Each structure stands twice: as structure tokens, then as C-alpha cells.
Amino acid sequence: MRPVVPAGPAADAAGGRRRTAIILDCDPGHDDALAMLLALARPEVRLLGVTTVAGNATLAHTTRNALAVLTLAGRTDIPVGAGADRPLRRSLQVADHVHGESGLEGAELPVPAIDPWPEGAVELMAHLIGASSEAVTLVPVGPLTNVAMFLDAYPTLAGRIAHICVMGGAIGEGNITPAAEFNIWQDPEAAARVFASGRPVTMIGLDVTHQALFTLADAERLRSLATRTGAVFADLLRYFARFHADRYGWEGSPIHDAVAVAHVLDLGLVETRSARVEVETGDESSRGRTIVELVDPADQERLAPNAEVGVRIDRERFVELLVAAVAAFP
Ligand code: BDR
Ligand code: CA
């Protein structure tokens, strides 16, 4: 297996249409895997590369999962950079109670047909952002370790980041603790760095992703596509649904990470509000809490918003988008 080489600026012109250049930073993860398919399927975005981080599972697992999903989708042209194997200052605590030990339990995935990019996630981000003819949108849907490391390592390239659309945080709930959402909780120091970066940040938190339920009936629609990708994702979503049935009594799963990609598509699915977001970096009970103050337009000067925060999503359109994304692959 040879590592794939990132595409250069020549790949920018796609049928004359302007596409948002994105890098997906992820820890696959069931919902990460669907976010990846959505980013690959849609014409509104051009996926420059995928970077992986430890979170839902160890880095070895999340990287292998990313490579396997790209192999399944037949998109072995997308470079994958393996990133941080632990948070900046904390020890890693995987979410195997949600995603299983491998991070992507429930289905048989192909053996990866590609290797990771040899220099790793931060270098891959620098290479792709430096080579891009337009500013690049980062879509981090795991702990924010890689993004924080990139911002510190390449301050001059940070100005070429158009937007950072984060899946993480919440206005009013938690999932790993009563106070915090998993991605922010895992590496709160990295998250604080990103919210303080001065780049345009959107926070797609649990308040909106918990509205984005993909039901078991929706999963069966994927099976009835009668494709390998459809069958794999139907199985994955059946596994993912177990945790949400036990924990919340839901008949489906929130596809958290795909909401961040859906927002970047700019199809008007996700409603956001300006806000001031601070990340709690203290210990235990408040660790990783996002303190969100929604800012009225009249108060913008006084409260200096540092993010847009997702508050609502059109679930039906979101589900249709995901079904169509899965249907785009063999
Ligand atoms: C987030 O945590 C992970 O388990 C999911 O992949 C998602 O990114 C939701 O809290
Ligand atoms: Ca994730």
C-alpha cells in the first residue's frame, strides 16, 4: 500500500462551480463515518483531506476506521493524516460504551487499501491549507487537539482558515457528564484554544444534534438501497442506536458530526445564533462545559461574540441528505 498524495491547487476547478474547501478532523466513530460520506458526496464542498484524532477510540483505531470508510466509498484519493494520540494535558478516555472498542463496531468494514500520509495530521493540514488557492474550512468533529496544535504550530497559516465548524459543546446539556459534551470534555484546553483563536467559529452542540435523529426505520432505508455501503451503514446505525435507546429511550441516534458538515454545505438546514462561548477547563464536575451566552444583535459590541451556535435543524431534510449521501456510493 502506498500513501496517497494530497491533490494540489489544480483540483480546485470543479465544473466551474465554487466549492468550499474543507478538511474533516475526526475520530470515527459511527457519526463521524456518516459525516465523512456526506462530505464526499456533496457538490457544495471539496474534501481536501481527513485528519484523525484519538477520542471515541484510540488513534490506531480511529485512523484505521477513516481509511476503511474511504476504501469502502472508493475514495482512496483522499489523504488521511493521523494526529494526536491523546489530549493536550489529560489522559485519553475512549467512548467504547457508545462506539464499541474499535470505535466502529457493528459492521464488517473493508481492509484499508491506503496508508496514512507519512507526516501526520498537523503537517497534512499545513500542506493542504498552504497549497489551497482559497481559504479552507476546518470541520473538527472529535476532540480539538489537532486543531489546537495546528494553530500553535502554524500561526501564519491560521489566517487562511475561513471557518472552523466544530461539533462539540452544548448550551444546556451534557452527554459524558451532566455538564459537558464528549469532544470538549476530552480536551478542554484544546477547545478553549480554538474558541479563542479569533477565526470564525461555529459550535454545533448537543442542543441541535439531539434534534438530528436518524431512526431505525431510516437505517432500513439504507439497507434497501441494496448496496454494500448501504448495508454497512444500516448495520453501523443499528449498533449506534443501542446506546441511545438505553440511555435516552430514543428510537434512533443523533448523527452529531454530520450536522457540522451539513451546516458547511450552506443549504439553510441549521439555524445559528451569535454567542459568547467560554470553555471550562477546571476539574471534574465542570470540566469541558461550554458556557454560552447568546448575544442579541443590539448587544454585539458589549458582549463580543466569538462564535455562532447551532440552535435548530430541519431534521427531515437532514435525514434525506444522509440517505442520498449513502446512496451515492456502491
Ligand atoms: C460527539 O462525541 C462522539 O462520541 C461523537 O462522534 C461526536 O463527535 C458527540 O458528543
Ligand atoms: Ca466524533
Spatial CB neighbours of 60, under 8 Å, sequence gap ≥ 6: none
Label residues 153-163 b or e (16+ Cβ within 10 Å = b): ebeebbeebbb
Which pTM was predicted?
0.95
Q: Residues 6 or more apart from 297 whose CB is under 8 A from it?
A: 274
The pLDDT of residue 283 is 83
Detail the DSSP E strand segments found in the chain.
20-26, 45-52, 80-82, 136-140, 161-167, 201-204, 213-215, 252-254, 270-279, 290-294, 307-313
pLDDT for 11: 41
pLDDT in tens, 37-54: 999 999 999 999 999 999
- Domains of the chain by residue range: 20-327
Is 182's C-beta closer than 6 angstroms to any atom of ligand 1?
yes
The proportion of the chain whose per-residue pLDDT surpasses 90, expressed as a percent, equals 91
Distance CA 64, CA 13 (A): 30
The region of weakest confidence among 60-74, 79-93, 296-310 is 296-310
> Which atom of ligand 1 lies closest to the CA of 141?
8
Distance 296 CA to ligand 2 centre (A): 30
Superfamily of domain 20-327: Ribonucleoside hydrolase-like (3.90.245.10)
Note the pLDDT of residue 16. 58
Q: Is 187 in the pocket of ligand 1 (CB under 6 A)?
A: no
Q: How many angstroms does the Cα of residue 300 sit away from the middle of ligand 2?
A: 31
